[in-house]
Structure 1
Amino acid sequence: MDTALIYKSNALVEASYRLSVYEQRIVLACIAQVRRDAPLTDQQLYNVSAQQIADMTGTQLGTAYQNLKSAAERLYRREVTLREAPNGRGRAKVRLTRWVQTVEYLEAEGMVALRFGTDMVPYLSQLTEQFTRYALADVAHMDSAHAIRLYELLCQWRDAGEREVSIEWLRDVFQLDGKYPAIKDFKKRVLDIAVEQVNELSPMWVKWSQRKTGRRVSHLLFTFGEKPSKKPVKAQKPKTSGNAKGKDKNASGAIYGIPRAIIEAKARAGESYEDAALRLLNEAKQR
């Protein structure tokens, strides 16, 4: 499963739902089996074994086995609220549906099988645009469901390098249902844990700051990007004025996931775009 990829419609990434971390693992392990070059139907069963979960997460087989059945049973009752069409087409509408229509538990094999709900199929298959992709291994060792959700959102916004959202919107996406109404509790129980696990366990780094409306904290600004490769980065000579075209091409867009505007604002005198981006990335990791 190390190389398995997750594909989700952006509308599903931003949908409102609540799943435990074990329910997330079951769903993601099944989504990773969906072939993008083959049609997905609501009649197809996807199998996930306790051994697969144990291998994916690095946990004990006994622990995985004990949690698999109860998580699958809860998953059958879980709802999801969708607000957009799978590829951003069609009329905007709110749809309340369920993740799965069938859950089977094969006790002798230590395995569960599930069949996705009819309404979920378009959000997982035949995605041509407005979808999010990441590796299953990126979130395999996270034990916070909020961290997995936050990572998916960062992957969706990957090219932007930053995104501001209202706290109420994030509460709704995470389906907190009135939990942690005080901002200090929301930060401690949800945000700080999710950010810490994304930074420690995924290929991305993320920082956040807050904005107030009046005296109340109302919005969060996430700044994020890809962690540098473990391979050493070779020093590059500055480009000469005679190669302006190449220089513009190198400077356009985000570098290491950091937007050009941020690089320009924080670059030091004589620093190239790439050197400045790498320095900012390393500084962010040390905070």
Structure 2
Amino acid sequence: MSHIESFKQTNAVTGARYDYSTTEKRLIYLALIEVESIVKNGIPDDFFGKELILFIPESQLKKTDQFDHRFRDYRKAIVSLRKKDFSIDKPDGGWIETGFINGGEYFKGKGLEVAVSKYVLPYLYELTKRFTVLDATVVMTLSSKFSQRFYEWCCQWRSVGKFEFTPDNLRDTLMIKTKTGDLKIYVLEVAQAELMKMYEDGISDLYFTYTEERGGRGRGGSVKKWIFQIHTKKKEVTQERAKNADIVFVAQFLAQTFGKDSPLIDQALEALKTHENVKVFAQRIDDLQTSGKLDRTNNKPGYIRSILQKEFGLDNK
């Protein structure tokens, strides 16, 4: 099985209602990771015509379960995903009814083989095209299914910096009936603590904090909604660099050019990460603005992106 650093998952999936176990989600993550790895250099001719075989080495299985429950949990996940129904409506009016996987086999001391249904491969392929980037190391290590969901939402809303839920909306999305007080203790605080620890351990680059909006009768009222603030290392680094006048100028220019919530801003700042590159780019922009060439350019975002790609190594994707 090929290993990659990250995979992509649609915002429709991260916002959807479902109740998968932690291990079921890991298997789905692995399928997405494998599909992206296979198609990144072009789709093989027979890719959609046969089931996808995943192989998870014993060493990787051990990493996800220090208490040696992986044999029981992965077997239960295989059974559950084989029985779960996936309904897919095709663009041409047709439809697909299938299970996510056809089956799995564990080889003692070697690892787990999983056969993903060929009918879900076009769907998984669509999920790899764009949308939310999730770090494979993080999602495969998280021990709580609630931590997995909150990590997905943090990735989904990374550029915005925050997201929110009412207690009812959160219950509905997670498909649980927990009381609001217990929802805070056993869902929010569990997810927050695990993501914070992984952030502090250097495994994850983000975590969240949250505040409450309350209203109604009684002492302090009841919780109307939770607002979740996303904290990332990239933002902290950018804030530190913002003390430099060139970075301030460049960051403001990129926000005006691409839009303040565009993921291209973080990508561009990463490509310009050395002070010398920032200084050179800032001077280049200043010259283009002074000469009036930038104002005469029909596609300013495309022109600036081209400069970043050709001269500073911005990823073409």
Three-state SS of the structure 2 residue aligned to 1:114 is strand
Output aligned runs, 1:128-277, within 5 Å.
Answer: 131-176=131-176, 178=177, 180=178, 182-201=179-198, 202-212=204-214, 214=216, 215-227=221-233, 238-239=244-245, 245-246=249-250, 248-249=252-253, 253=260
Deviation at 1:222, TM superposition (A): 0.8
Aligned to 1:76: 82
Residue deviations 1:210-269 (CA, integer Å, cap 9, x gap): 2235343232111103125999x98776428xx985463377747xxxxxxxxxxxxxxx
Residue deviations 1:27-64 (CA, integer Å, cap 9, x gap): 2122211134327637322323361533543737x543
Residue deviations 1:78-124 (CA, integer Å, cap 9, x gap): 45799xx99xx99xxxx997661412324455423132473x44542
**Structure number with larger C-alpha Rg:** 2
AA aligned opposite 1:248? Q
- Are residues 123 and 158 of structure 1, via their aligned partners in 2, closer, same or farther at CA, if it must alter by over 3 Å? farther
Q: Structure 1: how far apart are the matches of 2:236 and 2:244? A: 23
- Higher fraction of helix: 2
Gaps of at least 5 residues in structure 2 are 199-203, 262-317
Q: Structure 2: how far apart are the matches of 1:101 and 1:110? A: 17
- Are residues 49 and 169 of structure 1, via their aligned partners in 2, closer, same or farther at CA, if it must alter by over 3 Å? same
Three-state SS of the structure 1 residue aligned to 2:60 is helix
- Are residues 81 and 164 of structure 1, via their aligned partners in 2, closer, same or farther at CA, if it must alter by over 3 Å? farther
| Alignment partner of 1:64 out of 56, 70, 81 | 70
AA aligned opposite 1:151? Y
Output aligned runs, 1:31-70, within 5 Å.
Answer: 31-35=32-36, 36-37=39-40, 38=43, 41=48, 43-49=50-56, 51-54=58-61, 56-57=63-64, 59=66, 62-70=68-76
Three-state SS of the structure 1 residue aligned to 2:227 is strand
- Indicate if the aligned counterparts of 1:17 and 1:81 stay in contact, CA closer than 8 A: no
- Are residues 117 and 161 of structure 1, via their aligned partners in 2, closer, same or farther at CA, if it must alter by over 3 Å? farther
Gaps of at least 5 residues in structure 1 are 255-287
Q: Structure 2: how far apart are the matches of 1:212 and 1:234? A: 34
- Are residues 224 and 235 of structure 1, via their aligned partners in 2, closer, same or farther at CA, if it must alter by over 3 Å? closer
- What is the count of residue pairs matched by the alignment? 242
AA aligned opposite 1:207? T
Q: Structure 1: how far apart are the matches of 2:66 and 2:101? A: 28
Three-state SS of the structure 2 residue aligned to 1:124 is helix
- Are residues 14 and 48 of structure 1, via their aligned partners in 2, closer, same or farther at CA, if it must alter by over 3 Å? farther
Q: Structure 1: how far apart are the matches of 2:128 and 2:54? A: 26
Deviation at 1:142, TM superposition (A): 1.4
Deviation at 1:162, TM superposition (A): 0.9
TM-score by length of 1: 0.67
More relative contact order, 1 or 2 (CA 8 Å, 6+ apart): 1
Q: Structure 2: how far apart are the matches of 1:104 and 1:128? A: 23
- Are residues 237 and 223 of structure 1, via their aligned partners in 2, closer, same or farther at CA, if it must alter by over 3 Å? closer
